[in-house]
Amino acid sequence: MIPRFAMDPFKPWERWGQPDGVPLWWTAYNKVKHHRNTEFHQANLKNAINAVGALFILILHLYRQKAENGELIPIPSLFRITEDHFGGTTFNDVEFGINYKL
C-alpha cells in the first residue's frame, strides 16, 4: 500500500506463476526498452510503482530472517504492508523495525 497517496494494496507479482506468468509492469518495461519510439506511453507511474513495489518484495525475501525479526531499518516511508503481513514492531537500539510475516 502507499497510504500517503491513498493507493490500495497492489500486487506486483500477482501474475507470476500463472500460465502467461509475466507481470504487466515487466512486459511494459521490456516494450519500452526495446521499442521506445512506439511504446513510450507504457513508461507510466503505475508501471514504475509496481516495479519498485516488486523490488521491495524481493528485498524482503532476500533478507527474510532480518525482515521477520524487525531488523530492516529504517522503516520504509513510501510503502506499507497490509495487516496480513504485519507481525508487530521491534525496538532496535535507536528506532523501531517492522516484523514482517512472509
User: Do 45 and 53 touch, CB atoms closer than 8 A?
Assistant: no
Each residue's pLDDT tens digit, 34-52: 999 999 999 999 999 999 9
Amino acid at 14: E
pTM to 2 decimals? 0.87
Residue 4's pLDDT band (boundaries 50, 70, 90)? Answer: confident
The share of the chain scoring above pLDDT 90, in percent, equals: 74
Give the mean pLDDT of 14-30. 91
Burial 33-62 (b: 16+ CB within 10 A, else e): eeeeeebeebeeeebebbbebbeebeebee
Query: What's the mean pLDDT in 73-98?
Result: 92
pLDDT value of residue 3: 86
Give me the residues paired with residue 92 across strands: 95
